[in-house]
Chain A
Amino acid sequence: MKKEQCIELAHGAGGKSSRKLIEQVILAECKNPLLEPLADAAIIEWDKTRFALTTDSYVVSPLAFPGGSIGELAVNGTVNDLAVSGAKPLVILSSWILEAGLSMEVFQREVKAMARAAKASSVIIAGGDTKVVEHGKGDGLYITTTGYGLVEPGVNLGPHRVEVGDKILLSGPIGDHGITVLLARGEIELEATLKTDSRPLWPMIEPMIRLEPAAIKWMRDPTRGGLASVLNELAHDIGFGIMIEEELIPIRQEVRGACEILGLDPLHIASEGQFVAVVDQKKAVDFQKLLNDTPGGEEARIIGVISDKPSGKVVALSEYGGSRMVDMLIGDPLPRIC
């Protein structure tokens, strides 16, 4: 019997399957120079002004979790996609898909969360849409947000600018969001005081741009698929290798502990309030110091370097001389049994 191909949850997990779905189905049909870089935002030039346009959907379960909820996440996620494109976030459109039977109180709570997050990022909610689907057809609520921002002068980001010797800078501890949501689902009884790291990134990225925009070459936020997936996408795009030093990557004890117990790799776990940047090697230390002096960037570290080999792959080095290849996430992270 022939295996019938269908959409699986893995296609939405941000790893290899997601990338293939986008490249082989969407890009194949809708190819154009704006879409082709598959970046977090499309950069559109209009009358000597460059603006960034991005969109994202939020389908998180549960709707609220320690430190945040879907309404706030929908704003932060989209303003961060603009921020890592080097654009100051300005305007958000929000589209809500509500399931009949959703409590009005929950809806109001999430709208308030969205408004609060927008205010914190100095963006306005300029429009949107609401639709209601039948009960049982939509997990409470889904949100799609579209963001618009202006690219700062002097910013030129993209894999084409990355060179051997450039340094990889990470803004802080990874995996807080993914593990927080996993634990909030209540499927496993682990106690941790962990919160989501969902937060706007522009307050940390803006000072870097002010310092020297040309020395920043590429940026991404490691959401679904985690740090491993964004670095693999970069390695694939640039054709160079990426060497990271495992002990330099900040990971909270609670995240490490949960990953050890469940057999997950923290490098595959989503963050919602961190970014990873490739910067000119001569400026890397200055950028790290600047971030360390900026609120929220205290734990920023240079975690690795762009190398000439192995071509297109990410390798993690241990402090005692071992090495391992870091692959993209395949499907959702699934815990091991023993």
Chain B
Amino acid sequence: MQYVDEFRDSRLIKKTIEMIQQLADPTVHYRIMEVCGGHTFSIYRFGLHDLIPSNVELIHGPGCPVCVLPMGRIDEGLRIAEDPKVILTAFGDMMRVPGQTGSPLVLKAKGRDIRMVYSPLDSLKLAKEHPKKEVVFFAIGFETTAPATALTLLKAQEWGIKNFSVFCNHVLILPAIRAILDSPDMRLDGFIGPGHVSTVIGCRPYAFVAQNYKKPIVISGFEPLDILESILRILRQLKEKKSEVENQYGRVVLWEGNRTALKLLERVFELRSYFEWRGLGFIAQSALKIKKEFSYWDAELRFGTQGITLTDPKAAQCGEVLKGVLKPYQCKLFGRSCNPEHPVGALMVSSEGACAAYFHHVYQKTEV
């Protein structure tokens, strides 16, 4: 497959690993955070953690949209689905995420009309096909998925579809990175920057990481060679005592981002003053809200959501894992009461969640 096989070429991968080994100073312990859950998944899926020197530690960041969604928001969404008139739609990732009394799949099994969609536009089509129902799209994701939600809201307005609304949980990556950099227990040397988000926002907005916090950040693709090359570039910057924004994923990410997508976001959304993140708490201006002009299609207004805040189960240490303070297997619940079949925390749900990626793919350290 073009653009996939080239980046899984074993000869080039071996060569890049050799270069990483040569560049990494054995007396230094490097801590590099991959911000995006897609990177976490790839690192374990391809066993990259096995291949790099042990003093180059990869720390999993907050870039899995399912993982950072607090339980209160999930319960609000599920409460909407309790209405027999409602068809609740969500991406596949969301279907197993646990709320207080069960996941969307559990509620579906009990007879609620909850359906998986591949795009928010499919949800809008569903509303057209079921005019007597209220179709609600449970929107999650970073800047990657938000433009599709924005486009769907514009279409709903244009087509005058009245039985459709969006429960908006879109969050922004930059405030999350800033919160991590400001966290007192955080010691990081560099970042593997999120590839998908950057296709929308570009590379320029990450300048504060390099300039204010003096940390190198390399926007990276998701294939093994992409990630290894990004690690190499970070090590090179560290050796040369530089901190710059670099774009390794140039075949997809433009420095200025996708202007059309950014305009869509600006047209439909505004910033929330605060939004709660699982594990990171409330972060100012870190999420998107549907603008007044589109408020007719805002499920929060239509169904009167209450802003429920729920604390995670006490023993679950999702927050520490999300901030990279703990490795997944160091959480007290990992592999015991929290496993992919019965996830207690969201990090165990999505394949991009650090705990699920660890549980599924790493065999040496999961013997619990």
Contacts and interface: CB of A to CB of B under 8 A. Distances in A.
Given A1-B100, A322-B47, A337-B140, A260 B363 contact: no
A8 interface: yes
A190 to B, nearest CB: 10
B106 interface: yes
A46 interface: no
A8 B105 contact: yes
Given A3-B106, A330-B341, A331-B96, A322 B4 contact: no
Nearest to B144: A338
A6 B50 CA distance: 40
A325 B360 contact: yes
A50 interface: no
B294 interface: no
Given A260-B4, A318-B46, A320-B10, A336 B105 contact: no
Interface residues of A, number: 37
B251 interface: no
Interface in A284-338: 310, 313, 315, 318-325, 327, 330-331, 334-338
Given A322-B51, A323-B47, A324-B45, A9 B109 contact: yes
Contact of B92 (A4, A16, A20, A335): A335
A188 B118 contact: yes
A141 B266 CA distance: 49
A324 B46 contact: yes
Contact of A8 (B92, B106, B350): B106
A275 B20 CA distance: 41
Contacts of A20: 341
Interface in B98-112: 100-102, 105-106, 108-110
Contacts, number: 113
A8 B109 contact: yes
Contacts of A127: none
B13 interface: yes
A37 interface: no
Contacts of B161: none
Interface string B121-140: 01000000000000000001
Interface in A156-196: 187-188
Per DSSP, are chain A's interface residues mostly helix, strand or loop, or mixed?
A: loop
A80 to B, nearest CB: 28
A10 B84 CA distance: 23
Nearest to A335: B92
A324 to B, nearest CB: 4
Contacts of B95: 334
Given A260-B1, A336-B350, A338-B38, A325 B366 contact: yes
A78 interface: no
A7 B50 CA distance: 39
B48 interface: yes
A338 B106 contact: no
Nearest to A309: B363
Interface residues on B, range: 35 or more
Interface in B320-366: 340-341, 350-352, 359-364, 366
Interface in A8-33: 8-10, 16-17, 20
B105 A330 contact: no
Interface string A238-265: 0000000000000001001100100100
Contact of A334 (B48, B96, B341, B364): B96
Given A6-B106, A8-B106, A1 B93 contact: no
Given A321-B50, A322-B50, A325-B362, A334 B100 contact: no
Given A1-B100, A3-B101, A322 B48 contact: yes
A322 B52 CA distance: 10
Interface in B130-161: 140-142, 144-145
A188 B118 CA distance: 7
Contacts of A1: 100-101
Contacts of B162: none
B11 to A, nearest CB: 8
B366 A6 contact: no
A82 B55 CA distance: 53
B361 A325 contact: yes
Contacts of B110: 4, 6
Contacts of B215: none
A293 B236 CA distance: 53
8 contacts: A1-B101, A3-B102, A6-B110, A257-B1, A260-B4, A320-B17, A322-B46, A327-B359
Given A320-B224, A337-B145, 13 more contacts: A3-B101, A4-B110, A7-B109, A8-B105, A187-B117, A260-B1, A310-B364, A318-B46, A320-B17, A324-B360, A334-B95, A338-B141, A338-B144
Interface of A: 1, 3-4, 6-10, 16-17, 20, 187-188, 253, 256-257, 260, 263, 310, 313, 315, 318-325, 327, 330-331, 334-338
Task: Pick the 6 closest A-B CB pairs, nearest first.
Answer: A322-B47, A334-B92, A325-B363, A324-B361, A320-B10, A337-B91
